[in-house]
Amino acid sequence: MYLLALDKAEVKPILPEGVIGFAVSPDGKYVAASGASDPTDKIYDLSGGPPRPITGLKEREIVAAWGDPPLPLYVGARDGVVVNLFRLDPVTGQRRFWRRLMPSDPAGVRLVADIKIAAEAEAYGYSYYRFLSQLYVAEGFR
């Protein structure tokens, strides 16, 4: 992840090499990120300093979005074609169930992905990948 200073046309890295950011806080000061060498999601302060662990984040959970002001985090884990989302305070680890995402017709759905939540949680959206096929039965061939 890089920061582009438009007035100077300067680009500088804001995360260590190999670390990928995926959720920037609404105030632009923090990013939830992880890397290949340490796949545990952490909070990086973009002004510097060591990353902070996300207290209460469970195995297989991902950070989907930030709340406003930047707490809580919205975190979720896939359970088949369902994603259960929780509001998580990354400092105390307190969590509260928020929404269950599931297409109204789950037939053929393989993955719920691309979860987007507005900062004040007044709107949300997601996409899903569906794979449907047809089976034909042929009879009477010799």
Q: What is the pLDDT of residues 25-36, one digit of tens each?
A: 888 889 999 988
Residue 51 and residue 35 in contact, taking contact as beta carbons nearer than 8 Å: no
Q: Which residues pair with residue 63 across a beta bridge?
A: 75
Percent of the chain with pLDDT over 70: 99
31-51: buried (b, 16+ CB within 10 Å) or exposed (e) per residue? bbbbeeeeeebbbbebeeeeb
pTM: 0.79
- What would the pLDDT profile of 55-106 be if each residue is shown by its tens digit? 999 988 889 888 876 578 999 987 778 899 999 999 899 999 999 998 888 8
Residue 125 makes CB contacts below 8 A (sequence gap 6+) with 115, 116
Residue 42 and residue 51 in contact, taking contact as beta carbons nearer than 8 Å: yes
Instruction: Measure Cα distances from 68 to 54, 120, 132 in Å.
Output: 17, 6, 39
Residue 86 and residue 96 in contact, taking contact as beta carbons nearer than 8 Å: yes
| Both structure tokens of 61 | 């959970």
Q: What is the mean pLDDT of residues 8-36?
A: 87
